[in-house]
Structure 1
Amino acid sequence: MSGSAPAFITRLTLSDFRNHERLDIKVGAPLVAFVGDNGAGKTNILEAISFLTAGRGIRRAALADIARHDGSGGWSVSARIESDGLESQIGTGFSAGNSGRKVRIDGEDIRTTETLLDYVRVLWLVPSMDGLFTGPAGDRRRFLDRLTLSIDPAHGRRVGDFEKALRHRNKLLDQDGGDSFLSAIETQVAELGTAVSLARLETVSLLSTALSRQTDGAAVFPKADIVFEGEFESRFAAMPATEAETGFLEMLKNSRFRDRQAGRTLLGPHLSDLQVRHSAKNMPASRCSTGEQKALLIGLILAHAELTRSVTGTPPILLLDEVAAHLDPGRRAGLFAKLSEIGGQVFMTGTDEALFDALPDNDEIHLIAHPACRLLRGASSP
């Protein structure tokens, strides 16, 4: 189900997922809010949706840890997806004793989770990302990789293969592996690492262009300036891909002794970083206030949702966990208006129904009071 129309979830079913033994939710609106007490399972619903696309979900949890306590040890998530008048049923799940999750589309087993990207692309903003600009560079690389994946479905596999090849090289260095084995794995590292870096740089370039179109002062959220940089990019980014691969390969060969002493590979795109600045203040995001960092992050997510719509023809599904709680009423209203303008489906959570008073009348608010879900407001509510 690929195409130019947004993909909308119209029904979501969870089985033995976190605290939900069985939860069946019918959805009939673009903007959907789940409200309820802490611990009711609102974020768990967003996590379930995040598994309807490629990747490890919003918590990056071990699959076995997601299964409901006292359940079978497995879990499943399924959804009815509608796009441009076409309907598909997609599902994923995990069974105790298996090493990975299974995917099924319209009743047929699918070999790879990447196929889900033909149906649903998902971006999210969760409280654990509040420290993105002050935390380790690895968190920002993963954030950028998720942004890249939404416009380049092959990126996730490239990153996984690159990280695997890098671990293999480090192990060979530690075990004094022979030159022929090292040369073979270094060829893979150079090829995959260059491809990963170029894909990240392309995403940053496209997103920077999208951000530059924003007018200072007119946007609800502050504009960010972004750049992806590191020693690898300084050396090789300006070269054609084949020359960059050759240069990286030569560098890997020449740095074997140093890397063996260090116990790791000391140069490569696995060490590069996404740098973000508050454009109007010309200040690194890491030095901005907590509120400014949150606003910058929301602005980046919204800009990338628009970029995804521009590149693929379809806006992603957005998952915004507790995003409204830290915004003043004006910014909340501005956020909801911007989300409606982007045109995709959005799922949000909050403890207080009043946080979503500014939602358009045709959107929905569902009360999650474990183990039930009840529609409080929306086109189909009483």
Structure 2
Amino acid sequence: MSLSVTSLTLSHFRSHHVARLSCDTRPVALYGANGAGKTNLIEAVSLLSAGRGLRRASAADMVRRPEGLGWKLKATLARGPRHFEVETWSDAGAARQIKIDDKPASQLDLASQVRVLWLIPAMDRLWIEGAEGRRRFLDRAALSLFPDHAQHALTYEKAMRERNRLLKDQVRDAHWYRALEAQMAGSGTALHHNRQATLTALAEAQQGATTAFPAADLALVAIDAELPDTAEDFAQALQDSRLRDVAAGRTLVGPHRCDLQGVYAAKGVPARDCSTGEQKALLLSLILSNARALTAMIGTPPLLLLDEVAAHLDAGRRAALYDEICELGAQAWMTGTGPELFDAFDGRAQLVEVTEADGISAISG
């Protein structure tokens, strides 16, 4: 059973005053000149899932300028024979709101209905930049498999911010810390277990696949102290670390102090030491493995968003990628500057030209 977007309407979103697109279940290849709004379209698709979308932007940042009136997205999706509608919007200065089939919905509701994975050019430096980006990459994979992951992350971050405020104020009274540390211990342990389960699922998906993309051996390592396996042990570790944390002015133990390490399995070379092309191939391998793991878990492949991916692959790798997408049965949304980048689909994808002039978007395919 497949998941696909069959219609998408944007209003005052990013560069688009109004844009409408109708699709079938095949992959969608968006092409056009730089600045035409292709990435904005797939960012809109990313907002059909939980979270802040592929750019991690605030609701206010997504509004079309200079009007600043707020924005709205509306999409019809098909899962097998069933169709359902998702609306999400933000009025000027207001938080994002969601409806599913015209009923108010939460981010958790959205996460359980629509799973979306993406790879964008900003992620190309994943292996050589800071640990925060790698944790975020792993957390997106975990969220795709475990919809409650986002709520655990929000609970943990909120409690840690409050604890860090106490630490910076040099508060030493244990009474102020206990409730916050209990929240951090429960949500932090759940986060850690979800991450570990995600790594296991990705490893199994890589091992069982015939693919042209290299496998990566992944490990979650502690930057400082090891994270305990149980909430009780984590709460004790937070208590034991208070004096050290007061001196530092921040929390030094927990899942926010972990890093994702990757190794090019066939060569035994750390991902950070691989060539740019090898690093890109490893990222694609992980996105495809995540999609296979999710399909095995829920029976439906996710939506895939691949921004400018074709431009960074040679013709052979492009053909291999398109074959894997079609074999998976996923509706992938891809962008590129010209239709020739998608020739290897050979009729298996919808080619859609995106143009923009005088603030008006034109989408044809």
> Is residue 191 from structure 1 mapped to residue 186 from structure 2 by the alignment?
yes
Within 1, Cα distance between the matches of 2:150 and 2:61? 23
SS state at 2:310 partner: coil
> Which residue identity does 1:200 align to in structure 2?
R
The code of the aligned residue for 1:48 comes to A
Return 19-28 or 174-183, whichever deviates more.
174-183
Gaps of 5+ in 1: 238-243, 377-382
* Equivalence for 1:269: 255
Match of residue 133 from structure 1: 127
Residue of 217, 221, 228 corresponding to 1:225: 217
Aligned match of 1:124 in 118, 122, 142?
Answer: 118
Identity value in percent: 42
Question: Which one-letter code corresponds to 2:191 in the other structure?
Answer: V
Tell me, yes or no, if the aligned pair for 2:5 and 2:25 is still in contact at 8 Å. Answer: no
Cα 1:108–1:283 shift into 2, 3 Å? same
Q: Deviations over 1:229-271 (max 9, x none)?
A: 216784524xxxxxx2222211211211110110111111101
Give the equivalent residue in structure 1 for 2:298.
312
Structure 2: give runs of 5+ residues left out of the alignment: none
Q: Which residue of 2 aligns with 1:114?
A: 108
Distance 1:233 1:213, change over 3 A: farther
Equivalent residue number for residue 372 of structure 1: 361
CA contact (8 A) 1:133 1:285 kept: yes
CA contact (8 A) 1:53 1:114 kept: no
Shift of 1:353: 1.0
Q: Deviations over 1:175-205 (max 9, x none)?
A: 2443212111111111111111011001101
What do you get for the CA RMSD once the two structures are aligned?
Answer: 1.4
- Please list, as runs of the form range in 1=range in 2, the aligned pairs for 1:1-382 lying within 5 A after superposition: 5-98=1-94, 100-110=95-105, 112-177=106-171, 178-214=173-209, 219-230=211-222, 234=226, 236-237=228-229, 244-370=230-356, 371-376=360-365
Q: 1:30 to 1:226 in 2, by over 3 A?
A: same
Counterpart CA distance in 1 for 2:25 and 2:297 is 24
Distance in 1 separating the partners of 2:335 and 2:72: 21
- In 2, the alpha carbon distance for the partners of 1:375 and 1:199 equals 41
3-state secondary structure, aligned to 1:293: helix
Question: Partner amino acid for 1:320?
Answer: L
User: Which deviates more from structure 2 when the two are superposed, residues 138-147 or residues 248-257?
Assistant: 248-257
d(CA) in 2 for partners of 1:232 and 1:269?
Answer: 10
Bigger drift between 250-259 and 276-285 goes to: 250-259
Q: Which residue identity lines up with residue 146 of structure 1 in the other structure?
A: R
CA–CA separation in structure 2 for the residues paired with 1:287 and 1:47: 30
- Say if 1:89 and 1:105, in contact at 8 Å, map to a contact too: yes
Task: For 1:69, give the aligned amino acid.
Answer: R
C-alpha distance in 1 between matches for 2:234 and 2:108: 28
Could you report, residue by residue, the CA deviation over 1:105-150 in whole angstroms, capped at 9, with x for unpaired residues? 112222x122112321100000000000111111011111110111
Work out whether residues 16 and 361 of structure 2, in 8 Å CA contact, stay in contact via their aligned partners in 1: no
Give the Cα–Cα distance (whole angstroms) in 1 for the partners of residues 273 and 322 of structure 2. 28
C-alpha separation between the residues in 2 aligned to 1:231 and 1:246? 21
Q: Distance in 2 between matches of 1:194 and 1:85?
A: 38
Q: Which amino acid is 2:165 matched to?
A: K
Q: Is the 8 A contact 1:233 1:269 kept in 2?
A: no
Rounded Cα–Cα distance in structure 2 between residues aligned with 1:141 and 1:63:
23
- Sort the Cα spacing of 1:235 and 1:368 in 2 relative to 1 into closer, same or farther, 3 A: closer
The residue type paired with residue 283 of structure 2 is: L
Instruction: Check the 8 A contact 1:17/1:68 in 2, yes or no.
Output: yes
Q: Does the 8 Å CA contact 1:197/1:233 hold for their aligned counterparts? A: no
Mark the CA change 1:314 to 1:63 in structure 2 (over 3 Å): closer, same or farther.
Answer: same
TM-score by length of 1: 0.91
CA–CA distance in 2 between the matches of 1:86 and 1:313?
15
Cα distance in structure 2, aligned partners of 1:73 and 1:259: 44
The aligned length equals 361
> 2:225 and 2:298 mapped to 1: Cα distance?
27
Q: TM-score, normalised by structure 2?
A: 0.96
Shift, 1:323, TM fit: 0.3
Secondary structure at the counterpart of residue 348 of structure 1:
strand
Deviates more, 1:42-51 or 1:365-374: 365-374
